[in-house]
């Protein structure tokens, strides 16, 4: 029996972070043997965030993925812009979608008028990414819910107009967010300031500096307790330990009862560095071999192009027959 198809993408808009690892890449690792996976380096989507020089990050990402034992032989790792059918299908979807639908999803408030047009049509391209490969499951974060609601709408509309051509994919919502070190009320992002995130390539000194500067609270005596509402900074660090070690949150709280924040932060640094050191050991060997990385990408692009072209021809013929 053929495996179900999983589609997931990551933007080459900076070095991958600890947040990327815990929320996205760990899912890829856990799901890759159960599905036929299309792992997309979404360089077109990165343009929406005004990241134009993506080339320097693409090979970094591939190197990290291989270091994490992502299986690039049984799954397909490819560059979004190398598969023209993503944009062709995007244009077809744009032609059947009414502007009012976009307007309902993205509230047109005054402070949004200065945003790029791509901000409002991002989700149409995301829909073409997903549906082009007839995906069955798509892991997403909470911040993507409005985008995937449009994906379901477009798939259903196309099926109703032109025939039952698209699966309606299931969206696996992942709430394993790591928060910003400098503002634990918002998600960790590589586009924020240097001290707000941990890069997967950070050395121990950088990790120590960032964790030492991260926002906690002024409780005296210190209380190391998981309480997102009242102690978001400490809760974020506890959650990082939990996700990297599988130690339960209650065990972590017990271990650091009556300990101060200096001792706790030192432990956080050691845990993070231990995890990243194992990744980095492999990464720097792989990253030095750029010809090997180019071959991987060329091969992945070739495989994705073949499948995408076959699928697009079927979709396009149906569309043309019925317009």
Tokens of 70: 């992502």
CA distance 323 to 319: 6
Give the mean model confidence (pLDDT) for residues 136-153.
84
Please say whether the beta carbons of 274 and 51 come within 8 A.
no
pLDDT (0 to 100) of residue 296: 97
Percentage, residues of the chain above pLDDT 90: 72
Please tell me the number of Cα atoms within 13 Å of 282 on its side-chain side: 15
Asked if the model's pLDDT at residue 51 lies above 70, the reply is no
pLDDT (0 to 100) of residue 71: 95
CA distance 242 to 251: 9
- Cβ-based neighbour number of residue 192 at 10 Å: 17
Categorize the per-residue pLDDT at 307 as very low, low, confident or very high, splitting at 50, 70 and 90: very high
pLDDT (0 to 100) of residue 181: 96
Give the mean model confidence (pLDDT) for residues 217-223.
90
Please tell me the number of Cα atoms within 13 Å of 187 on its side-chain side: 15
User: 202-284: which CATH topology?
Assistant: Tyrosyl-Transfer RNA Synthetase (1.10.240)
Give the mean model confidence (pLDDT) for residues 114-129.
85
pLDDT, tens digit (0-9, with 9 covering 90-100), for 233-291: 999 999 999 999 999 999 999 999 999 999 999 999 999 999 999 999 999 999 999 99
Asked if the model's pLDDT at residue 108 lies above 70, the reply is no
Give the mean model confidence (pLDDT) for residues 204-232.
94
CA distance 141 to 10: 12
> Helix or strand or coil: residue 231?
strand
Superfamily of the domain at 5-179+290-322: HUPs (3.40.50.620)
CA distance 67 to 61: 10
Categorize the per-residue pLDDT at 322 as very low, low, confident or very high, splitting at 50, 70 and 90: low
Categorize the per-residue pLDDT at 49 as very low, low, confident or very high, splitting at 50, 70 and 90: confident
pLDDT (0 to 100) of residue 111: 58
Please say whether the beta carbons of 29 and 63 come within 8 A.
no
Name the least confident of 100-109, 123-132, 253-262, 299-308.
100-109
Burial 131-146 (b: 16+ CB within 10 A, else e): bbbbbbbbbbeeebee
pLDDT (0 to 100) of residue 33: 94
Runs of H (alpha helix) within the chain:
18-20, 26-31, 43-48, 55-67, 85-96, 99-105, 117-132, 145-162, 204-213, 232-245, 249-255, 261-287, 290-322
pLDDT, tens digit (0-9, with 9 covering 90-100), for 53-101: 788 899 999 999 999 999 999 999 999 999 999 999 999 999 999 888 8
Q: Where are the domains of the chain?
A: 5-179+290-322, 202-284
Phi, psi of 183 (to 5 degrees): -150, 85
């Amino acid at each position: 029996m053929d495996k179900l198809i999983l589609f997931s993408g990551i933007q080459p808009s900076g070095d991958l972070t600890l947040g990327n690892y815990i929320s996205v890449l760990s899912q890829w690792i856990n799901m890759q043997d159960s599905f036929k996976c299309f792992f997309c380096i979404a360089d077109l989507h990165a343009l929406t965030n005004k990241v134009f020089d993506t080339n320097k990050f693409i090979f970094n990402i591939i190197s990290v993925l291989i270091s994490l034992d992502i299986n690039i032989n049984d799954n397909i790792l490819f560059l979004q812009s190398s598969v023209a059918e993503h944009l062709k299908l995007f244009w077809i979807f744009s032609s059947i979608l009414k502007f009012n639908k976009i307007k309902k999803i993205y509230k047109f408030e005054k402070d949004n008028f200065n945003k790029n047009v791509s901000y409002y049509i991002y989700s149409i391209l995301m829909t073409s990414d997903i549906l082009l490969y007839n995906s069955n499951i798509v892991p997403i974060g909470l911040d993507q819910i409005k985008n995937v609601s449009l994906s379901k709408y477009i798939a259903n509309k196309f099926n109703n107009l032109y025939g039952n051509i698209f699966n309606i994919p299931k969206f696996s919502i992942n709430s394993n967010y790591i928060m910003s070190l400098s503002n634990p009320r918002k998600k960790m992002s590589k586009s924020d300031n240097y001290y707000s995130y941990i890069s997967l390539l950070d050395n121990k000194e950088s990790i120590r500096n960032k964790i030492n500067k991260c926002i906690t609270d002024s409780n005296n005596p210190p209380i190391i307790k998981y309480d997102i509402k009242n102690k978001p900074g400490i809760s974020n660090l506890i959650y990082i330990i939990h996700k990297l070690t599988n130690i339960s949150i209650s065990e972590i709280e017990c271990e650091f009862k009556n300990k101060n924040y200096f001792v706790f932060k030192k432990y956080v640094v050691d845990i993070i560095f231990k995890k990243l050191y194992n990744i980095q050991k492999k990464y720097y060997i792989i990253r030095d071999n750029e010809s090997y990385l180019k071959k991987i990408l060329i091969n992945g692009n070739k495989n994705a192009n073949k499948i995408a072209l076959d699928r697009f021809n079927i979709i396009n013929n149906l569309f043309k027959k019925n317009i």
